[in-house]
């Protein structure tokens, strides 16, 4: 294919005469008296295509009675030697208009561990004719322009000083620098920190001893770095505002930007609720930090259970078989339990009063709708929702769901109120309550029974889910 820099011999005779060697520039030939003719991408071996492109341009210009002869002058192949820190040094065939990337690709590319992407030299008769920096191609798409001759040599030099970058950046990578240009400002241009980045942590060595630095982003730009430094961009500056969301029986706006010091009662004055539907006494929060803590507590309990299950000893073959079956059961239970995601519910109501707690960024204020339904789930024959009746007891609600299943722990029933508060075997069931019947844990290992029961309770409270054991 014809490319930038290719030379074309053009001869014309008749009503217009010309005998010129023209060079392709910006994808076109510039013919005196004719103008620019797009030829980039045409076959280098098909002179007829070039001639036809010239004739078409002449016709458009109203020039007739002209005979055209055109031929590429650079159809002779060349051989370029590629050496230095590449995967397969050697001599490779190409064309004069081929790029340095073409020949590097033929040689298997730059050795990523030892070779430089920024210091690539092109030699001709032992003289440096040009240098190539592949970062210009990687970051801006610019390919180094050079016209090769037969016998030229491409030398990939040893990798220069480099720094690893991670954290709040768009380009997390290990960057190589030109010698003497390893500065914070240069690294910022390459790593492109995102808008959240406010501080920078640097670890490395200076004079053979450990070096650690932590400073604001604006000060980092003036810092001089060293080879093998590890730089992490961080979002460590607390903003002046937070965003809180409202869900449930609300009217109008659902998101509220607030001062970082905002408390629940303040934002409640901004939330428009549906007085006919809103259950203000059932208000609760969903909080990300609480969800993370609940998840960690569950994972820690599962890790203890897993350790105890796999390290338990047996005193007989029969007991060993029981242990093996229990371990298999526990393995399945642990795998499923690790998949649950806590909701991070924060109970803010007690005795009809709402606590005026400090809010966090990302909090979700949930105002549930009023309901006359009681939900029964867990180890009952037919989990379902039942209309609330003030005269109905706990036993009657469970009986309306088909009664206990054969795996139910009849002494372990918990009730979740609409505001997220959890109580064991509540006396009077209230509208909107969720009755959860826990499963019975069968095991010869009393410690395992205790730990599984604790985990089941944690999951039921944090996720409103009852797992089978």
Cα distances (angstroms) measured from residue 113 to each of 17, 106, 434: 57, 18, 60
Q: Please report the pLDDT score of residue 72 as a whole number.
A: 78
CA distance 134 to 117: 5
Fold of the domain built from segment(s) 78-158 = Outer membrane lipoprotein wza fold like (3.10.560)
Q: CA 190, CA 375: separation in Å to the nearest integer?
A: 56
The pLDDT tens digits for 149-187 are: 899 999 999 999 999 999 999 999 999 998 888 999 999
Does position 35 have pLDDT exceeding 80, yes or no?
Answer: yes
d(CA 141, CA 73): 28
Are 191 and 165 spatial neighbours (Cβ–Cβ below 8 Å)? Answer: yes
For 215-241, the pLDDT digits (tens) are 999 899 889 999 999 999 998 876 788
- Mean of pLDDT values over 11-35: 83
pLDDT digits (tens, 9 = 90+) for 408-417: 888 888 898 8
- Statement: residue 242 has pLDDT above 70: yes
Q: What is the mean pLDDT of the chain?
A: 85
Task: State residue 108's pLDDT score.
Answer: 93
Residue 387 has pLDDT above 70, yes or no: yes
- The predicted model gives 390-417 an average pLDDT of 89
Q: What is the pLDDT of residues 88-111, one digit of tens each?
A: 999 999 878 788 988 999 999 999
Q: Write out the two tokens for 295.
A: 């998840």
Contact criterion met (CB below 8 Å) for 18 and 32: yes
Instruction: State the pLDDT at residue 426.
Output: 62
Q: What is this structure's pTM?
A: 0.55
What is the location of CATH 3.10.560.10 in the chain?
A: 78-158
The pLDDT assigned to 153 comes to 95
**SS3 letters across 230-278:** EEEEECCCCCCEEEEEEEECEECCCEEEEECCCEHHHHHCCCEECCCCE
Longest dimension (CA), the chain: 111
CATH of domain 7-72: 3.30.1950
Average pLDDT over residues 441-458: 73
Rg, C-alpha atoms of the chain = 37
User: If we measure between CA atoms, which residue out of 429, 403, 422, 427 comes closest to residue 464?
Assistant: 422
Q: Do 231 and 225 touch, CB atoms closer than 8 A?
A: yes
Q: Write down the pLDDT at residue 314.
A: 60
Tokens of 331: 């393995």
- C-alpha–C-alpha distance, residues 165 and 322, integer Å: 52
For residues 29 and 286, what is the distance between their CA atoms, to the nearest angstrom? 67
pLDDT exceeds 60 at position 45 = no
Between residues 224 and 70, the one the model is more confident about: 224
Q: What is the mean pLDDT of residues 11-20?
A: 84
Residue pLDDT, tens place only, 259-290: 988 999 888 888 888 888 888 888 999 999 99
User: What is the pLDDT, as a whole number, of residue 322?
Assistant: 63
Beta bridge partners of 202: 213, 231
Listed in order, the ranges of the chain carrying CATH 3.30.1950 are 7-72
Is the pLDDT confidence value at 44 over 60?
A: no
């Amino acid at each position: 294919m014809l490319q930038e820099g290719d030379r074309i011999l053009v001869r014309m005779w008749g009503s217009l005469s010309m005998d010129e060697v023209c060079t392709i520039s910006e994808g076109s030939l510039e013919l005196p008296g004719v103008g620019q003719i797009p030829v980039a991408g045409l076959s280098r071996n098909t002179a007829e295509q070039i001639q036809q492109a010239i004739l078409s341009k002449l016709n458009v210009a109203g020039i007739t009675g002209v005979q055209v002869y055109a031929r590429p002058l650079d159809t002779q192949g060349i051989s370029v030697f590629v050496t230095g820190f590449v995967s397969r040094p050697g001599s490779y065939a190409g064309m004069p208009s081929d790029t340095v990337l073409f020949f590097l690709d033929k040689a298997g590319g730059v050795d990523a561990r030892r070779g430089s992407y920024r210091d690539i030299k092109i030699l001709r008769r032992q003289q440096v004719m040009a240098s190539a920096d592949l970062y210009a191609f990687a970051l801006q798409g610019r390919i180094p322009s050079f016209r090769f001759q037969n016998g030229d040599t491409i030398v990939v030099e040893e990798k220069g000083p480099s720094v690893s970058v991670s954290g709040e950046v768009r380009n997390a990578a290990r960057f190589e620098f030109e010698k003497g240009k390893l500065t914070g400002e240069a690294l910022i241009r390459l790593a492109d920190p995102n808008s959240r980045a406010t501080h920078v942590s640097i670890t490395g060595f200076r004079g053979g001893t450990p070096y650690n630095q932590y400073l604001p982003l604006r000060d980092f730009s003036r810092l001089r770095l060293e080879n093998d430094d590890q730089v992490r961009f961080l979002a460590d500056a607390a903003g002046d505002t937070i965003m809180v969301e409202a869900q449930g029986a609300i009217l109008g706006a659902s998101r509220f930007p607030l001062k970082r010091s905002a408390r629940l009662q303040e934002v409640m004055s901004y939330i428009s609720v549906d007085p006919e539907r809103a259950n203000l006494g059932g208000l609760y929060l969903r909080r990300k930090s609480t969800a993370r803590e609940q998840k960690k507590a569950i994972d820690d309990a599962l890790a203890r259970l897993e350790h105890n299950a796999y390290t338990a000893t047996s005193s007989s073959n029969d007991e060993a078989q029981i242990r093996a079956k229990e371990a298999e059961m526990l393995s399945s239970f642990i795998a499923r339990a690790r998949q649950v995601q806590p909701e991070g519910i924060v109970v803010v109501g007690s005795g009809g009063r709402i606590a005026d707690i400090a809010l966090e960024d990302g909090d979700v204020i949930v105002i549930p709708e009023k309901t006359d339904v009681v939900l029964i789930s867990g180890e009952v024959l037919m989990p379902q929702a039942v209309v609330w009746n003030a005269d109905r007891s706990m036993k009657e609600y469970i009986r309306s769901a088909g009664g206990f299943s054969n795996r139910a722990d009849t002494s372990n029933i918990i009730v979740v109120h609409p505001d997220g508060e959890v109580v064991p075997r509540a006396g009077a069931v209230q509208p909107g309550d969720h009755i959860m019947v826990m499963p019975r844990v069968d095991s010869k290992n009393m410690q395992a029974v205790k730990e599984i029961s604790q985990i089941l309770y944690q999951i039921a409270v944090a996720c409103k889910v009852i797992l089978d054991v």
